């Protein structure tokens, strides 16, 4: 990967991290972000506030766990392992968004109470079992919860969202937080009804056709209505 490409990724990472905080899904130095960069990956450094972070502070890591530059995020293990196991994804975003973390503190999986649960790729957004932060045990738990999914909660910790691009991963993290807030509020009225697996299969198929959470397709490619000519 060229130096110019890597520099562009570093600059975008800083911008996305600041969007994490400005969107309200992250606070302080919590959370972290990684991006595939050829046969390596880039990851945010440990304990550096996003408003002070500069592109040169982003850490370059090999998949063997060695790195160049500042000390990487304490959660580098699950970033490395997810990127290694999920060739369909290029970005791992982790944050401690308030409502997702509220559910994670109760080890609550988000069911298909709302059709948008399907944005994570399945009928549920699973909650991983608890493990100490920064450990291989946490990485193993995250990989298990992410099987066939693009997002999960981490027991008594936070959430992880994946994407092909940084913008897609951020979009999904915000959606997971929005769904978490709706679910917490719905639970105040009792357990909400759950959409059937058959309906969720239709929803997920529709989302894939309409590229939910991805860059827009060519103009009109997914339209049912057709533009008027003449």
Cross-strand partners of 34: 43, 92
What are the counts of helices (DSSP H) followed by strands (DSSP E) for the chain?
6, 8
As given in the structure block, the two tokens for residue 96 are 């401690």
SS3 171: helix
Q: In the chain, where do the E strands start and end? A: 32-37, 40-43, 59-61, 67-68, 91-95, 127-128, 151-154, 158-163
Q: Are 1 and 72 in contact (CB under 8 A)?
A: no
Of 121, 101, 71, 126, nearest to 184 (Cα)? Answer: 101
Catalytic entry in 12, 75, 175, 177: 75
**Is 75 one of the annotated active-site residues of the chain?**
yes
Measured CA to CA in angstroms, residue 88 lies from 134, 149, 210 at distances of 24, 11, 18
Measured CA to CA in angstroms, residue 130 lies from 105, 154, 210 at distances of 9, 7, 35
Annotated active-site positions, please? Answer: 75
């Amino acid at each position: 990967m060229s130096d110019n490409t890597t520099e562009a990724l570093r600059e975008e990472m800083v911008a996305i991290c600041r969007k994490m905080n400005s969107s309200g899904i992250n606070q302080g130095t919590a959370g972290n972000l990684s991006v595939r960069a050829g046969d390596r990956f880039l990851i945010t450094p440990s304990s550096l506030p996003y408003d002070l972070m500069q592109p040169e502070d982003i850490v370059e890591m090999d998949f063997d766990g060695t790195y160049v530059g500042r000390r990487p995020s304490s959660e580098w293990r699950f970033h490395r392992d997810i990127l290694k196991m999920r060739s369909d994804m290029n970005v791992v975003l982790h944050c401690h968004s308030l409502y997702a973390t509220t559910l994670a503190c109760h080890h609550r999986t988000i069911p298909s109470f709302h059709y948008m649960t399907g944005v994570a790729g399945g009928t549920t957004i699973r909650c991983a079992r608890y493990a100490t932060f920064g450990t291989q045990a946490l990485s193993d738990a995250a990989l298990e919860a992410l099987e066939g999914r693009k997002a999960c909660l981490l027991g008594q910790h936070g959430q992880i969202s994946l994407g092909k691009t940084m913008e897609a991963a951020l979009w999904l993290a915000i959606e997971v937080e929005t769904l978490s807030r709706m679910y917490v509020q719905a639970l105040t009225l009792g357990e909400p009804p759950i959409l059937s697996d058959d309906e969720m299969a239709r929803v997920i198929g529709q989302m894939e056709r309409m590229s939910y959470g991805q860059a827009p397709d060519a103009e009109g490619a997914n339209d049912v209505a057709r533009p008027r000519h003449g």
